C-alpha cells in the first residue's frame, strides 16, 4: 500500500509537505520520500523499518527550500524517482500496483531504455512509470499514454517547474483528493491529511483525470471518465476514519456496516458490544447504536510504537505485534456475552490466537464474532495486502470441506447456499467462538453508499469488471 501527497504553496511548502505526507503513515511501513522544488530539486528517501516517518524526516524537511513538493509513504518502492527527461527534469511518486510491469519493462528495454533502480529484485515501478511518461510527445501525452498502457492501478504526482501534476488511475482504484488553503493547493490520497494543516477539500479527482496544481490554482489537463472501481476495502479497513473517498466518510460507513450487522442479529441477547481496535471500533459503535446494547472496550490497544499488524512484511513480526498490542480488561470481560466486531477475517490466526484467546482467558461467557465484510475469497489483485490465496481463512475452510483446493468457489460466495453455511461453521469452529456471522456483499455495498458497479469487490466476489478486461 502507499499514500501520496503534493502541495504548491505561497511560501515554503516543506512543513506542509512533511505533515501532509506523515498523515499517510498508516498506509505503509517500508519506504518514504519527499521532494521539494525551489531553485533546485531537494529529494530525500528513507526506509521506515526501524523508525517512523516523523523522526526520519524531521531534519531533512527543515533543510528543504521551495514552494512546491511531493511526498510518499510506500510499501512497494523507494520513491520519489528523479528523471532528467526530454521534457526537462521531474520527480515522481506513484500509488498502486502495475500488473503488467514485466511486459512494459521488456518493451522499454527493447527500445533501448535502461533502468537504474531495483525494488525487491524487480524494476522499481515508479521508475517504470517515469520512463513510460518520457516516451510521450509531451508531459501530458506521456502521462496519458503511460496510464493507458498500465494494467492495474496507478495514481501519480509529478513535480517539475510547472507545478505538481496529479493523475488518478483510469479505473479509480486508488483515490486522489484536491484541497485549498489560504495561499495554495494540495493533493492527497487521504483527505484526513487536510484539516490539521489548514486545507479544505475542493474536489475528488475522477478516474483518469489529470490536473496541474501551480501558483495560479488548479488547471484541468484531462477530463476524468465515468468508470470507477474504487477499492471497497478503503472504507472497511485500510482507510483512515477521518478520510472520505468520493465524498463518503470512512467512519460513517463503518458505523453503517455495524448497523447492518446488528439488523441481522435482532434475536440475539448480549451484554457487551466491542470491536477489535482500530477499525473494528467504528463497526462496533454502529452495532451498539442499532442494537441498543452498550459499547465497551474489553480490549484496548497500546498505541505508542505499534503500527497496524499486517503491514510488516514478515509474519513473525506481524504475529508478535498482534500479540503485544491488545491488552484485555478482565473486569469488562469476565462472565459477559460479547459481540466482537472485526473489520475482516484474513487468515484468522491472529483473531484466534491473540484476540479470542485473550477474551476466553479472561472468562468471557460467549463470543459472537461479526466481521464487517464478507469472507475474503481472493487476495487483492493489486497487491494492496500481503495475503496469499491459500492463507485465507475461507480458502482453508473450503479445502478442509472439499478435501482439496478448488478453483470455482461460486457456491461458497453465495451467502444463501448450504456450502457457504458449512464454510462459516468451519471457520467458527476453528476460531473457537460461540457464533460467527459475516456481512453480506449487498449490505456492505449499501453501507458504503455507491452503486455496486462503481466499487472493486474482487476480494469477495472474484469478479473483474467486464469493461476492464
The answer to whether 458 contacts ligand SF4 (rule: CB under 6 A) is yes
Segment interacting with ligand SF4, rule: CB under 6 A, options 11-19, 242-250, 319-327, 378-386: 378-386
Q: Which residue, 123 or 232, has its beta carbon nearer to ligand SF4?
A: 232
Q: Which residues contact 17 (CB under 8 A, 6 or more apart)?
A: 5, 6, 7, 34, 36, 61, 64, 69, 70, 71
Q: Does 318 bind ligand SF4 (CB under 6 A)?
A: no
Binding mask 176-215 for ligand SF4 (x = CB under 6 A): ----------------------------------------
Among 177, 231, 248, 367, binds ligand SF4 (CB under 6 A): 231
Q: Which of 292, 284, 232 is nearest to 256 (CA)?
A: 284
Say if residues 5 and 20 touch (Cβ distance below 8 Å): yes
- Provide, rounded to whole angstroms, the least separation between the CB of residue 340 and ligand SF4: 23
Q: Where are the beta strands (DSSP E) in 170-216?
A: 177-180, 185-188, 200-204, 210-214
Helix (H, G, I), strand (E, B), or coil: what is residue 205?
coil
Task: Rank residues 398 and 459 by Cβ distance to ligand SF4 and give the closer one.
Answer: 459
Task: Decide: is 380 part of the binding site for ligand SF4 (CB under 6 A).
Answer: yes
Nearest 5°: phi and psi at 298?
Answer: -70, -20
User: Of the two residues 233 and 412, which places its CB atom closer to ligand SF4 in the complex?
Assistant: 233
Rounded distance between C-alpha atoms, residue 263 and residue 271, angstroms: 17
Count of chain residues binding ligand SF4 (CB under 6 A): 12
| Euclidean distance between CA atoms 454 and 172, whole angstroms | 9
382 binds ligand SF4 (CB under 6 A): yes
Least gap, CB of 94 to ligand SF4 (angstroms): 15
The answer to whether 451 and 278 have CB atoms below 8 angstroms apart is: no
Rounded CA-CA distance 365/363 in Å is 6
Of the candidate residues 87, 90, 173, 426, the single one contacting ligand SF4 (CB under 6 A): 173
Provide the H-helix boundaries in 64-161.
Answer: 101-110, 125-133, 139-149
Closer of 24 and 336 to ligand SF4 (Cβ): 24
Which range in 130-138, 142-150, 375-383, 427-435 contacts ligand SF4 by CB under 6 A?
375-383
Q: Is residue 233 within the footprint of ligand SF4 (CB under 6 A)?
A: yes
- Interface with ligand SF4 (CB under 6 A): 173, 231-233, 380-382, 384, 456-459
Amino acid at each position: 500500500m502507499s499514500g501520496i501527497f503534493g502541495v504548491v504553496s505561497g511560501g515554503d511548502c516543506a512543513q506542509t509537505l512533511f505533515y501532509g505526507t506523515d498523515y499517510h503513515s498508516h498506509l505503509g511501513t517500508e519506504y518514504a520520500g519527499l521532494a521539494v522544488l525551489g531553485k533546485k530539486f531537494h529529494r530525500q528517501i528513507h526506509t521506515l523499518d526501524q523508525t517512523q516517518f516523523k523522526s526520519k524526516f524531521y531534519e531533512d524537511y527543515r533543510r528543504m527550500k521551495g514552494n512546491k513538493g511531493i511526498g510518499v509513504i510506500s510499501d512497494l518502492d523507494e520513491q520519489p524517482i528523479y528523471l532528467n527527461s526530454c521534457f526537462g527534469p521531474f520527480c515522481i511518486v506513484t500509488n498502486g500496483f502495475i500488473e503488467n510491469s514485466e511486459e512494459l519493462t521488456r518493451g522499454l528495454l527493447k527500445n533501448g531504455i535502461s533502468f537504474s533502480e531495483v525494488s525487491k529484485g524487480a524494476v522499481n515501478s515508479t521508475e517504470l512509470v517515469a520512463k513510460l511518461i518520457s516516451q510521450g510527445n509531451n508531459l501530458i501525452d506521456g502521462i496519458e499514454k503511460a496510464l493507458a498502457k498500465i494494467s492495474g492501478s496507478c495514481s501519480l504526482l509529478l513535480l517539475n517547474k510547472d507545478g505538481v501534476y496529479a493523475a488518478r488511475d483510469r479505473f479509480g482504484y486508488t483515490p486522489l483528493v484536491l484541497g485549498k488553503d489560504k495561499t495554495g493547493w494540495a493533493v492527497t490520497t487521504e483527505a484526513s491529511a487536510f484539516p490539521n494543516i489548514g486545507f479544505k477539500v475542493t474536489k475528488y479527482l475522477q478516474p483518469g483525470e489529470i490536473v496541474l496544481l501551480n501558483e495560479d490554482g488548479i488547471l484541468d489537463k484531462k477530463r476524468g471518465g465515468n468508470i470507477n472501481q474504487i477499492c471497497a476495502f478503503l472504507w472497511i479497513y485500510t482507510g483512515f476514519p477521518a478520510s472520505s473517498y468520493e465524498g463518503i466518510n470512512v467512519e460513517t460507513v463503518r458505523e453503517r456496516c455495524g448497523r447492518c450487522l446488528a439488523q441481522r442479529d435482532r434475536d440475539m441477547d448480549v451484554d457487551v458490544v466491542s470491536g477489535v481496535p482500530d477499525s473494528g471500533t467504528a463497526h462496533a459503535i454502529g452495532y451498539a447504536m442499532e442494537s441498543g446494547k452498550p459499547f465497551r472496550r474489553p480490549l484496548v490497544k497500546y498505541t505508542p510504537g505499534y503500527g497496524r499488524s499486517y503491514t510488516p512484511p514478515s509474519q513473525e513480526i506481524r504475529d508478535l505485534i498482534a500479540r503485544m498490542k491488545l491488552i484485555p480488561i478482565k473486569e469488562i470481560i469476565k462472565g459477559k456475552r460479547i459481540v466482537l466486531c472485526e473489520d475482516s477475517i484474513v487468515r484468522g490466526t491472529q483473531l484466534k490466537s491473540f484476540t479470542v484467546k485473550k477474551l476466553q482467558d479472561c472468562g468471557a461467557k460467549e463470543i459472537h464474532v461479526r466481521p464487517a465484510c464478507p469472507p475474503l475469497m481472493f487476495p487483492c489483485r493489486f497487491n494492496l495486502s500481503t495475503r496469499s490465496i491459500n492463507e485465507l481463512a475461507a480458502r482453508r475452510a473450503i479445502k478442509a470441506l472439499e478435501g482439496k483446493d478448488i478453483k470455482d468457489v461460486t457456491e461458497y460466495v453465495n451467502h444463501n447456499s448450504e456450502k457457504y453455511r458449512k464454510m462459516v461453521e468451519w471457520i467458527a469452529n476453528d476460531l473457537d467462538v460461540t457464533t460467527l456471522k459475516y456481512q453480506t456483499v449487498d449490505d456492505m455495498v449499501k453501507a458504503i453508499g455507491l452503486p455496486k458497479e462503481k466499487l472493486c469487490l474482487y476480494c469477495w466476489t472474484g469478479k473483474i469488471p467486464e469493461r476492464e478486461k
